[in-house]
Amino acid sequence: MEELIQQLKEQIIEVLNLEDVTPADIDNDAPLFGEGLGLDSIDALELIVMMEKEYGIKLKNPAEGKEIFKSINVMAQYVNEHRTK
């Protein structure tokens, strides 16, 4: 799981162009949205695309993202359980 968490952090930094953020800056339990990283609604859509592209997970309802992207830990757990690639 640690490896997946690190991979997710690196992918998030890359796809969201978080230029001045390192994986170590992202707290595993901190909210991804609303504070901290300062992500917005377009970032949420980008993460949904990333989930499908990298892990074969299709989120048909964008509202699902609200729960899944709660934190890196929650996201990693979801990916671990639902990934098809």
Q: Given the rule CB under 8 A, which residues bind other proteins?
A: 15-20, 38, 42-43, 45-46, 49, 52-53
DSSP codes of every residue in 15-43 = HTT-TT--GGGS-TTS-SBSSTT-B-HHH
- Nearest approach in angstroms of CB 17 to other proteins is 5
Contact 79, 57 (CB under 8 A): yes
Q: Nearer Cβ to other proteins, position 3 or 63?
A: 63
- Nearest approach in angstroms of CB 61 to other proteins is 16
Q: Nearer Cβ to other proteins, position 50 or 77?
A: 50
What's the one-letter identity of residue 74? V
Q: Nearer Cβ to other proteins, position 2 or 19?
A: 19
For residue 49, count CB atoms less than 10 angstroms from its CB and return exposed for 0-12, middle for 13-18, buried for 19 or more: exposed
- Nearest approach in angstroms of CB 12 to other proteins is 12
